[in-house]
Structure 1
Amino acid sequence: MAGVTRYVVVGAGIVGLSTARRILSEQPDAQVTVLEKESAPARHQTGHNSGVIHAGVYYRPGSLKARLCRAGRSSMVRFCAENGIPVQVTGKLIVATDDAELPRLRALHERAVANGLRVRMITPAEAREHEPHVRCRAALHVASTGITDFGEVCRTLAALIGRAGGELRFGARVTGIAVRGGEQVVRTTTGELHADVLVNCAGLHADRVARLAGVTPPARIIPFRGEYYELRPQRRELVRGLIYPVPDPRFPFLGVHLTRMVDGSVHAGPNAVLALAREGYSWGRIDLRDVADLAAYPGLWRLARRHLGYGLTEVRRSLSLRRFAQSLARLVPAITEADLIRAGAGVRAQAIAPDGALVDDFLIVNRARQVHVLNAPSPAATSAFEIAKHIVARLPR
C-alpha cells in the first residue's frame, strides 16, 4: 500500500483506544479513525470494571494472557504515573477460607511462580498484618497488584489520539463492512469510510462486527452480568486493599471479592449471571434479538448442561442480598447485609466455543487487512497496551 495508510478502529474501549494510539506512535503519518457507537469512550466493559491492575496470577504459563498481563501491569502503572492518573500498587491477598481450598491455593502459588511473579504463601497471622479483619486458613500475597481508574485512562488516551492527529467519531455505529478492490468500506450511522486496514475492538459486539466483515467467528460472545455492592462509608475500614477468594479453575470468574478503589470506596463483587442483553446491566434490561441469539446457540446450551449448579448459585446470589453478604463474610466475617449498598454492574463479553467450552485466552483473528479481537475479557484492561503492541506488530502497512 503506497502513501498514507488509513486505519479504522471499531470500538473506543481501552483496547481500541490503545491500539489507535499505538498505530499513531509507530506511524505518525497514518490516518486513524476510531468509531464508537456511544457518545463517549469506555461506556461498556472498560467503564464498568473493578479498576484492578492484575499481576497475572491466574493465567496458564506461556499463554497470551499470562505474557501480556505481566508486561501490561508495568506499562499500565507507568502510563498512569506519567499522565497524572490515580494509581496505587496495593498488593492483594488470595485467601483460602477452609482446608479444602488449600490445594488450589498452593497450585495457584505454583502457577504464579511459573509466571515469574513475586508472590508469597503466608499464614493467617501474616494475612492479618495486611488485612486485620480477614479470616483464612492461609493466603497468597501478590505484591504487584494495583488499582486505577480505567475510565480516566481512556479519556487520556482519547485526548492523546486527538493531539496526534487521529479522529474519534462518537455516535457512529457500524452497520456494514465490504471489501472493494483492497479497500475496507465501512458503513456507519454517520456515513461511509474507506480504509486500508480494519481493526475490530468492539467488545460485546465483536463477533457481530466480524460477521459484518465476512468473517465467521470461531466463538460466540455471551454476555455475563457482574453485579456489585459497596461498603457503607463508615465500614470501609474493614478492607485496606484487595481480598480475593481462591477461584474455581473451571470458570473464568474470580469469585466475589473486595476491592478498595482509588477514591477510597470499597467495592464488593461481582457475581456472574447470564445477561439477557449484551448491554444488560440489570435484570430488567432484555433485548429480544440478544435473547434469540442466546437461545439458538448450541454452545450456550452445552455450557449450561455442564455447569448448571454453578449458574444457579450465581443467580441465587444475584437475587439475595443475604447470600451475597454471606459470600463476603467468608472472607471478612464482620461484613453483614446492613453494611452493603447496591452499586453498578458490568457485563463481561465472554467468548464461548460451539462445543460449550469457555475460551480461556485472548482470541485475536487476522484476515486480509483485518484484525478481529474476539475475546478480551479481564485482564484486558491491565494488558491493553501490550494487546495493542501485539495487534500492531501484525498489521499490514
Structure 2
Amino acid sequence: MRRDFAVIGGGIVGLATAYALTTRYPDALVVVLEKEQAPAQHQTGRNSGVIHSGVYYAPGSLKAQLCRAGNRSMTDFCDQHGLPYDRCGKVIVATRPAELPGLHKLHERALAHGLTVNTLSPEQVREHEPHVEALAGLHLPDTGITDYRAVCLTLARLLRARGAVIQYGTQVTGVHADARGYLIDTTDGPFAAHVLVNCAGLHSDRIARQAGADPGSQIVPFRGEYYELIPERRHLVRNLIYPVPNPDFPFLGVHFTRMIDGSVHAGPNAVLAFAREGYTKRDVNLRDLREALSYPGFQRLARQNLREGAAELWRSFSKAAFVRSLQQLIPEVQAHDVTPSQAGVRAQALTAAGQLVDDFLLIDAPNALHVCNAPSPAATSSLEIGRMVAARVPAPPHLSRYPQPSSGDQGVYA
C-alpha cells in the first residue's frame, strides 16, 4: 500500500509534522518511520525542556519567527492536553564588564522582536536569583519549561487516533524516487509513499542525499554534557540562568536550567561527538568520526575556534574546569554540589566553508521536503515547523480537494 505521506523521524519535529499533515488532510494516509522503539529518543528527549522566547535569533529568520509563535502554540497545546509546563521566566546576566555590550545587544534584539523584557540591576538580578552575582541582567518572563517527551507521547496518541501509523523499530536504509513518489527501504521491509518528509535529525543530511537532494551542508554532531545539582543544593537556582553568549563561539555557554520535575541541570558544553549518537566519551562510530574529521567545514570551524574549542574539550574532562564556569554565574557552587547527568547531541548543519547553518534549513525537492537543520529552538518551534511543512509540502493529486494554503493562511510559513 502506498501512503500519501511518509515522515522519517519520530522526534518532536517529525511527530508535529505528521500531526499538521493529518490536520490539513484529514483523510490522508500518513506513516511515521522511527528506528527506535519509542519516540523522542535523541535530541527531543535529551534537551533542557525550555520553551524559548526567541531572544537569540536574527530578526527575520525562521528561528525568530517560529520560536515566537511556537512559544505560544506549545503552551496552548499543553493547556489543551493537560501537559505540565511553567512559564517561569529566565535571566540572562553579564558577570564581567566585557559582556555588557553583548547584554545591551540582546536587549535591543528582544525589543525588535516585540518580546517582553526587563533590564535588571545587580540588586534586581538577586531578586530573581538570590545566589547570582552579576553586573547587570535581563529578565524574559515569557520563557518557560515543559516535558517534551510527554508532548511527543501525546502527539503519538493523537496521530494514532487519527489513523496515522507510527512504525517503531524501523530504520530507513535507502530512499529511491519512482514515478509515483518514493520507495523507502527499511529494516522492517519496504514502504511506498507519494510524498516524503525527512525529519531524521542527526541523519537528515544522509536521508536527503539518498533521496537525491543536496542539503548544501553536513550534519556534525556536538555533544552537550550536563551536570545536575544535588537535591540539597537545588535552592541555589529558582528558574533559568543564562550567561551572555560569547560572540566568538557559536554556542550559548553553560547555564542553569530548572527542569519540570524540579531537578536543576547545569550545562551544556559543546564538544565534537565521535558518533552521531555519541552520548558518552566511549561512543565511537568510525564512519561518523571519519566523516566529521575529513569534512572541510569542520576543519575550518575547528581552526577558527581553536582556543574556545580547546576550553570546551578541557571542561569535558575536568569537572573542576566545568565548575569554574558555573561559578561565574553562582559563586557558591562547589564540585561536590553537582553530579554528572544525561548528555545530548546537537545535530548541527555545517557548510563546507566552516559556517554553522544558523537557521532552520528546509530543502524542497520533487514530492519531498527535507528538514536538514533543526537544532534548538526546534522543540519550542515544533508545532509551527509542522504547520509550515504541511503548508509547503506538495500534496498528492487525490488530496487536491482540500483547500490549499492562501498567502494569509500561510503567514510566516510561506
> Same fold, TM exceeding 0.5?
yes
SS in 2 for 1:393: helix
Match of 1:317 in 2: 315
Paired residue for 2:378, among 377, 380, 383?
A: 380
In the TM superposition, what are the counterparts of 1:293-312 in structure 2 within 5 Å?
A: 293-312=291-310
1:94 maps to 92
The worse-fitting range, judged by mean Cα deviation, of 178-187 and 156-165 is 178-187
Normalised by the length of structure 1, the TM-score is 0.98
> Post-superposition shift, 1:396?
1.1
Check conservation: 2:55, 2:113, Cα contact below 8 A: yes
TM-aligned CA deviation for residue 85 of structure 1: 1.2
Counterpart position of 2:169? 171
> Higher mean Cα deviation, 313-322 or 175-184?
175-184
What SS does the corresponding residue of 2:343 show, helix, strand or coil?
Answer: strand
Aligned to 1:336: 334
Of 11, 30, 48 in structure 2, the residue corresponding to residue 13 of structure 1 is 11
Q: Does 1:67 align with 2:58?
A: no
Q: CA deviation at 1:112?
A: 1.0
In the TM superposition, what whole-angstrom CA distance separates every residue of 1:82-109 from its partner, at most 9, and x where no partner exists? 1111100000000000111000000010
Q: Is contact 2:8–2:200 with CA below 8 Å preserved after alignment? A: yes
User: Which of 372-381 and 79-88 deviates more?
Assistant: 79-88
State the distance in 2 between where 1:216 and 1:297 align: 16
1:291 corresponds to which residue?
289
1:298-319 Cα offsets, whole Å, 9 max, x none, are 1110111111111101001111
* Structure 1 Cα separation of the partners of residues 382 and 81 of structure 2: 16
In structure 2, how many angstroms separate the alpha carbons of the residues matched to 1:319 and 1:109? 34
What aligned pairs does 1:95-110 form with structure 2 within 5 A after superposition? Answer: 95-110=93-108
RMSD: 1.0
Q: Is the 8 A contact 2:185 2:191 kept in 1?
A: yes
Matches within 5 A, 1:162-311: 162-311=160-309
* 1:5, distance to aligned residue in structure 2 (A): 6.6
Residue identity in the other structure for 1:11 = G
Gaps in structure 1 of 5+ consecutive residues: none
**SS in structure 2 of the partner of residue 117 of structure 1:** coil
Instruction: String of CA shifts for 1:20-44, please: whole Å, max 9, x gaps.
Output: 0010011110000000011100000
Q: Which whole-Å deviations, capped at 9, do the CAs of 1:165-219 have from their partners, x for residues lacking one?
A: 0000011111111111132111111011111100000000000111111112200
Shift of the alpha carbon at 1:249? Answer: 3.0
Count of aligned positions: 394
Alpha carbons 2:74, 2:380 under 8 Å: kept: yes
Match for 1:31: what amino acid? L
Distance 1:295 1:126 in 2: 46
Deviations 1:41-62 (A, max 9, x none): 0000000000000000000011
Q: What is the one-letter code of the residue matched to 1:301?
A: Q
Alpha-carbon separation, structure 2, partners of 1:53 and 1:251: 23
CA contact (8 A) 1:252 1:360 kept: no
Determine whether 1:58 maps to 2:56. yes
SS of 2:359's partner is coil
Q: 2:76 aligns with which of 64, 73, 78?
A: 78
Could you say what secondary structure the match of 1:196 adopts? strand
- Residue type at the aligned position of 2:186: T
Matches within 5 A, 1:343-362: 343-362=341-360
Which letter does structure 1 place at the counterpart of 2:390? V
Mapped pair 1:150 → 2:148: yes
* 1:372-392 residue CA offsets vs partner (Å, 9 max, x unmatched): 000000000000011111111
CA distance in 2, matches of 1:38, 1:167: 15
Conserved 8 A contact 2:3-2:192: no
| Counterparts of 1:371 and 1:67, CA distance in 2 | 20
Superposition TM-score, scaled by structure 2 size:
0.94
Map residues 34-49 of structure 1 onto 2, 5 A cutoff.
34-49=32-47
Gaps of 5+ in 2: 396-414
1:111 and 2:109 matched: yes
Work out the CA distance in 2 between the residues paired with 1:151 and 1:251: 29
Q: Give 1:250 shift.
A: 3.9
The code of the aligned residue for 1:263 comes to D
Question: How far did residue 252 of structure 1 move?
Answer: 3.6
Q: What is the match of residue 122 of structure 1? A: 120
Q: C-alpha distance in 2, partners of 1:331/1:139?
A: 11
Cα deviation digits, residues 102-122 of structure 1 (max 9, x gap) = 000000100111111000111
Aligned partners of 2:249 and 2:308 also within 8 Å: no
Contact 1:176 1:187 in 2 (8 A): yes
Measured in 1, the distance between the counterparts of 2:215 and 2:249 equals 22
3-state SS in 2 of match to 1:136: coil
